[in-house]
Amino acid sequence: MSEEVKTICCIGAGHVGGPTMAVIADKCKHLKVIVVDLNKDKIDSWNNKDLTKLPVYEPGLKDLILRCRGENLFFSTKIQQSIAESDMVFICVNTPTKMSGLGAGEASDLNYIENSARSIAEFATGNTIVVEKSTIPVKTAEVIKTILTSSQRDLEKKPTKSFTVLSSPEFLAEGTAIDDLINPSRVLIGGESTFAINALVNIYKNWVSEEKIIKTNIWSSELSKLTANAFLAQRVSSINSISALCEKTGADISEVSTAVGMDYRIGRHFLKSGPGFGGSCFKKDILNLVYICKLYDLNEVGNYWNEVLKINKWQQNRLTNIIVKKLFGTITNKKIGILGFAFKANTNDTRESPAINICSNLLLEGSKLAIYDPKVNFQDICDVLKDANNKVDNKFKIEERVCMASSSKELASGADAIIILTEWEEFKKIEWSKISKLMRKPSWIFDCRDIIDINNFKESDLNIWKLGFGSN
Ligand code: NAD
Ligand code: UGA
């Protein structure tokens, strides 16, 4: 078998598949890279001439697409043909939490992984290296291998194809995906076949230095991904738990974070308190970890990680309660402005955004909301809030209580309070003295992302509350 890979196919043109393959295509001009998806609209958007219509917003992505699309990077719905012509197939499909049946609410739904494996089993030709990029429970490679090899077992004649499975989880974060892919802290490759591992190493070696490429056994690789996300989320919950204590004691969470993080053994990253972690992965990956622990009778370990999720939800509910209490205990029919709906800055992604839970809580308390986010569109916001509202008894028409503002000024007009939920750069430049004039008095600003310098408000008629700030 030759180690030279000429064509790569990626199943799944989502937040990981699209950017990852764009970087591979840009760095490996000798490769043909095809990204396939079942979703035709998504593929059409990836192929749209207007680069503002790409389905994923990531700084730097447009330039890559402009350089590579149609040259050595292709987006297609032709799954059969693309798999057939590829030497290596990446599986980059979604692995959401199972919503029903065995393990509902915790286990990963491996349906999309299984379907991808079945497509590869059916359409691949010759020797194919299959790379798990999706985040999956430890031992999933076993499932993929079984599907791939059993597809050959039924053949009366000799098997016509062979497969090698590798695990190479993706560690990119949204909003910094391109930078993370170009300068990864590490690339992890787990597997048994030296030939297949080398083939993948040879791709990454085009731009990643070899000492950053870690080779492990396949189970270590799968488990490392879940563990990394659990550790990151745990740091956010840890600092958020301390933010509440700061508010009670007069300490300042940003000072505590700096002091704690300067210990090199702890490190300064991921110690920013906020409205809780969001994003498509932390919650689902920890739920999955908890489920796996229970499967292996490690209930104490599962319970330990579950606490990270409990603190996260508690932080969001705690914030809502503070807001209601500061506004005289009632927010019925009051207009509240929400600055930022994305789960973090520099992304249009709202999946598991803390804004969903906080806005839903405020709506249940009777408020009206005006929302401004530079990248998230109104339909997405309505859809996720409707979804959340469907899960509670007190149902109402979201569109009647929620409106989109096109600027912070429009949002402020007549509002009793403004809540900063996403740390968008433009929010740091807001001229609050102008905003104050537009709001109903007494007016409140709740800064949940530490973007306001409270010293600038000494003379202001705005009431400022800052998360984790003991002198509130
Ligand atoms: P996504 O939902 O944005 O994209 C997944 C895509 O796969 C969808 O477009 C879907 O239509 C497609 N798909 C599903 N089944 C298919 C099939 N059988 N054939 C063809 N296409 C199919 O998901 P994502 O955010 O890109 O995440 C993908 C995986 O990567 C997940 O396991 C996730 O945990 C992991 N991950 C995500 C991130 C992130 O920042 N979003 C980072 C690292 C790892
Ligand atoms: C996270 C990980 O950082 C990636 O390494 C991983 O690949 C990815 O999940 C995944 O598997 O999906 P992402 O969710 O895109 O990436 O974004 P993060 O930057 O990790 O932020 C997650 C959440 O934590 C955000 O809501 C963010 O606001 C919050 N956060 C992060 C804090 O509240 N404080 C911090 O100090 C850091």
Render pLDDT for 408-438 as a digit per residue (tens, 0 to 9). Answer: 999 999 999 999 999 999 999 999 999 999 9
Gap from CA of 91 to ligand 1 centroid (Å): 8
With DSSP H G I counted as helix, E B as strand and the rest as coil, what are the percentages for the chain, rounded to 5? 45, 15, 40
- Residues in contact with ligand 1 (CB, 6 Å cut-off): 11-17, 36-39, 42, 79, 92-95, 112, 115-116, 134-135, 170, 172, 174, 280-281
pLDDT(156) > 70: no
The four Cα atoms 347, 348, 351, 355 give a dihedral, to 10 degrees, of 90
Q: Give yes or no for residue 292 CB within 6 A of ligand 2.
A: no
Instruction: Cite the beta strand spans of 51-180 per DSSP E.
Output: 73-76, 88-91, 126-132, 161-167
Asked if 49 and 130 touch (Cβ cutoff 8 Å), the reply is no
Which bound ligand lies closest to the C-alpha atom of 171?
Answer: 2
pLDDT band at 158 (very low <50, low <70, confident <90, very high): low
Helix or strand holding residue 216 (H, E): strand 213-216
pLDDT(279) > 90: yes
pTM, 2 dp = 0.96
Instruction: Cite the beta strand spans of 283-390 per DSSP E.
Output: 335-339, 368-372
Q: Give yes or no for residue 236 CB within 6 A of ligand 2.
A: yes
Query: For residue 153, what pLDDT is reported?
Result: 67
281 as an active site residue: the answer is: yes
Gap from CA of 14 to ligand 1 centroid (Å): 5
Residues 72 and 59: their CA atoms lie apart, in Å, by: 21
Gap from CA of 283 to ligand 2 centroid (Å): 11
- Strand, helix or coil for residue 130: strand
Task: Answer whether the bond into residue 275 is a cis peptide, omega within 30°.
Answer: no
**Mean pLDDT, rounded, of the chain:** 95
From 10, 281, 359, 448, the catalytic residue: 281
Q: 298-322 pLDDT, tens per residue?
A: 999 999 999 999 999 999 999 999 9
Residues 39 and 194: their CA atoms lie apart, in Å, by: 35
Q: Give yes or no for residue 19 CB within 6 A of ligand 2.
A: no
Which residue's alpha carbon is at the smallest distance from atom 23 of ligand 2? Answer: 277
Which bound ligand lies closest to the C-alpha atom of 231?
Answer: 2
Residues 186 and 464: their CA atoms lie apart, in Å, by: 41
Q: 309-364 pLDDT, tens per residue?
A: 999 999 999 999 999 999 999 999 999 999 999 999 998 899 999 999 999 999 99
Asked if 453 and 428 touch (Cβ cutoff 8 Å), the reply is no
